[in-house]
Amino acid sequence: MTLTDKEKQEVLSLIQSGQSLPKDYIYKLFADEEDVFLFWNGRKEEVTNVALPFHSIEHIDEPRQEAKAREEQTSMFEVDSRGRQLKGWTNKLIWGDNKLILSSLANGPIRKEIEDAGGLKLIYIDPPFAVGADFGFNIEIGGETAEKKQSVIEEIAYRDTWGKGISSYLSMMYERLKLMHSLLSEDGSIYVHCDGRVNSYLRIILDDVFGSTNFRNEITWVRSTNPKGSQHDSINFDVFTDSILFYAKSQNSTFDYDEIRVPYSKNELIEKYRYKDEKGPYYDGPIERSITMGPRPTMVYEYKGYTPKISGWRMEKEKLIKLDEDGNLGWTKNGKPFRKLRPEDDKGKPIGNFWNDISVINSQADERLGYPTQKPESLIEKIIKSTTKKTDLIADFFSGSGTTAAVAEKLGRKWIATDLGRFAIHTTRKRMIGVQRELQKAGKDFRAFEVLNLGKYERQFFMDDLVNGARKKKEDLYVDMMLAAYKAEKITGCKTLHGKKAGRLVHVGPLDVPVTQSRLQAVFEECREKLYTQVDILGFEFEIGLVPRITEEFREQGVDMRMRYIPKDVFDKRAVDKGQVRFFDVAYLQAKPSVNGKEVSIQLTNFVTNYTQDDIEELTQTMRAGSKVVIENGEIKKIEKSKEGIITTEVLTKDWHDWIDYWAIDFNYEDREETIQKTLPDGSIEEYWTGNYLFENEWQSFRTKKNPTIEFKSIAHEYPKPGRYKVMVKVVDILGVDTSSVVEVIIK
């Protein structure tokens, strides 16, 4: 420490009075630590260190081949009678905050799964590096484009990333990179995609986390060479490149240069393999030949008139003859011979860190999914091939549309992909089903994948974090928070009712379990007793099958019961204080089974949503002349305003079919229990049943860019024996929101 006694007293005085320390004092305090100390406002050395259990939402595995074909063809997996994977690594698509996901992967039971799979060998991330970036996306409906705005939880992530400028961005990335470093195997590598705005900052952070000696390359990707033309800024050059920072965990990292060599061009081959004489210069003299027709002789051994200048040719004469007989001799336009490239002689041209052979995705390409930051598969393929081997495990913790997962699957690698956005997870799910189908059709192997989140455990973590140091009991604080977010007034003297809003009573459902039928029955009975006729039920999850059956029964008996989802956004005080939290009604679907002997098919017959994103009355008062597409009360509408102020409205969602983007079926929902693994204090792993069942995706139909149509009746499923079966139907609407229902079938 280089502080004088006077400076020490001044520092103590500043700390005691709660004032900030001048930067020069901070530098002096750490002067003895390192030659260079990376410091920014808000830097913290500790990282999140929790191990929350993962909740399994869905298990997806396309049957690999028909039973007869399976008898004749061996697979890398042990499969069941349907051709579905039974054992081995299951790929993971995880929805949620990647900070909590990374911590839970590094410290929880899945860490052992990762180690058993050979360890995490490669991380590729494309984190946000544009201050104006958000999580919104566009929906094509009725020939118009509707914008699905980012959720509040996504807005919170944006504010946490950029709220204080570059310092908050550095804090966000620093913690996550440290967690990634701890999860990566010793022979693993990381690639971080960025641009000139954050390149220098990320490079220094990566040096700090991975060590400057483990820096491998800064790759320059030429993503475009098209100038902006008239839209070009007048103060700088057009930017055609991104950077990809490549670091290893240690000096023993995997790297295979040969995997990404590229073929030589014809001109490059001529220069590389053109024959020279002993003294070095190329032969450029006249050629005498017995056959003079054509620009070159038909056979080398017909050459005549060798001179001392080309004595080297005389020595190579027999070799040239042999090359010609084998078809490996070529000729330049000037009649000079060269040896053609043979695969066994050369593996191709090595590439450097300047990648100018991969363009951005064409707007009409099948792989384009509408994400503005989506990267080409060929770019990710080059990274994966050079740094991993087949069956290695790869992860992407900012996965977006799922490009890394798709390429990893096609190249026979295992994968983990995570994203904060619900719609990103849904897009990736559809994409990976498409990849499974593509590989299945080609007779190639692929792995099952599961969709996971941290569910109620994430909510418990948020709540515990808020309760820490609070005087009130956890349950009371929780109810108060939910009522504040819902803008409801708290009431007392009731058993099941907690608040009141606009003439309706409010019941706050539990934090960590679904709202059940028995809970609703208790609320209903108190409403009848006190002569209340309207009540809102708030919940994070609802027991499957409650809507619309229960609400119809209660309405007929005089109580209008409306069920509304509590969004995760309620745990951010900033969002609550600004009134940004939106609750929306639980959607419901209707499905009809058709039984024919042991075969059952399911038809989707109705879907109802009341999702609201926009306030039309507020919008029409502020909008100028023109048109805008809005989402209100379960309808997507086009609002047009004339110069005279006349408002016209066109509903684009003509009927419920327009809302369906994806639906899937588990024909025997209760045949596989959902289990949770939990690490105990002694390090052992405990596994227990959650009381729920795992949704096994056995059939699905969904819209794609190439095929926007959707089937509303499933194929027939044959049951092995008579019995009573529960069939679960899951719908994901065009906004990415899941709704499920269970129907019962009896096979005689």
Residue 345 lies in a domain: no
Give the pLDDT score at 80: 74
Residue partners of 399: CB distance under 8 A and separation at least 6 = 93, 405, 417, 418, 419, 424, 428
Residue 45 lies in a domain: no
Amino acid identity of residue 635, one-letter, is E
- The domain total for the chain is 5
Mark which of 276, 305, 339 sits at the end of a domain.
Answer: 339
- Confidence grade of residue 443 (pLDDT, cut at 50, 70, 90): confident
Mark which of 585, 607, 622 sits at the end of a domain.
Answer: 585
CA dihedral 378, 384, 390, 394 (to 10 degrees): -120
Q: How far is CA 555 from the centre of its chain?
A: 42
Mark which of 298, 314, 339 sits at the end of a domain.
Answer: 339
Asked if pLDDT for residue 293 goes beyond 50, the answer is no
Do 171 and 293 belong to one domain?
no
- Confidence grade of residue 21 (pLDDT, cut at 50, 70, 90): confident
Do 218 and 93 belong to one domain?
yes
**Interior angle at CA 360, CA 356 and CA 363, nearest 5:** 150
- Confidence grade of residue 282 (pLDDT, cut at 50, 70, 90): very low
DSSP track, 623-647: --SEEEEEEETTEEEEEEE-TT--E
Does residue 667 sit in helix, strand or coil?
A: coil
Range picked from 113-117, 274-278, 472-476, 478-482 for highest mean pLDDT: 113-117
Do 367 and 484 belong to one domain?
no
* DSSP category for residue 105: H
Do 419 and 296 belong to one domain?
no
Do 31 and 65 belong to one domain?
no
Give the pLDDT score at 288: 35
Asked if pLDDT for residue 545 goes beyond 80, the answer is no
Q: How far is CA 149 from the centre of its chain?
A: 18
Does residue 742 sit in helix, strand or coil?
A: strand
Q: What region, left, alpha or beta, does residue 367 occupy, with left being phi > 0 and alpha being psi -120 to 50 degrees?
A: alpha
Asked if pLDDT for residue 69 goes beyond 60, the answer is no
Residue 42 lies in a domain: no
Residue 344 lies in a domain: no
Q: What is the pTM of this model?
A: 0.79
Please name the helix (run of DSSP H) or strand (run of DSSP E) that holds residue 122, with its range, or none: strand 120-125
| CATH classification at residue 542 | 3.40.1350
For the chain, the average pLDDT equals 79
Residue 49 lies in a domain: no
Residue 44 lies in a domain: no
| pLDDT tens, residue by residue, 694-724 | 899 999 999 887 788 899 999 999 998 999 9
Q: What whole-number distance in Å separates Cα of residue 374 and Cα of residue 401?
A: 7
Range picked from 371-380, 416-425, 632-641 for highest mean pLDDT: 416-425
Asked if pLDDT for residue 160 goes beyond 50, the answer is yes
Task: Quote the percentage of the chain above a pLDDT of 70.
Answer: 75
Do 115 and 208 belong to one domain?
yes
Name the maximum alpha-carbon separation found in the chain: 118
* Residue 191, token pair as written in the block: 């690639």
Do 501 and 422 belong to one domain?
no
Do 3 and 143 belong to one domain?
no
- Confidence grade of residue 77 (pLDDT, cut at 50, 70, 90): low
User: Domain containing 92: what range?
Assistant: 55-228+235-261+350-453
Asked if pLDDT for residue 472 goes beyond 90, the answer is no
Do 560 and 612 belong to one domain?
no
Do 372 and 414 belong to one domain?
yes
Do 183 and 272 belong to one domain?
no
- b/e 225-241 (16+ beta carbons within 10 angstroms → b): eeeeeeeeeeeeeeeeb
Residue 643 lies in a domain: yes
Half-sphere exposure of 325 (CA within 13 A, CB side): 7
Q: What whole-number distance in Å separates Cα of residue 592 and Cα of residue 605?
A: 7
Residue 464 lies in a domain: no
Do 411 and 429 belong to one domain?
yes
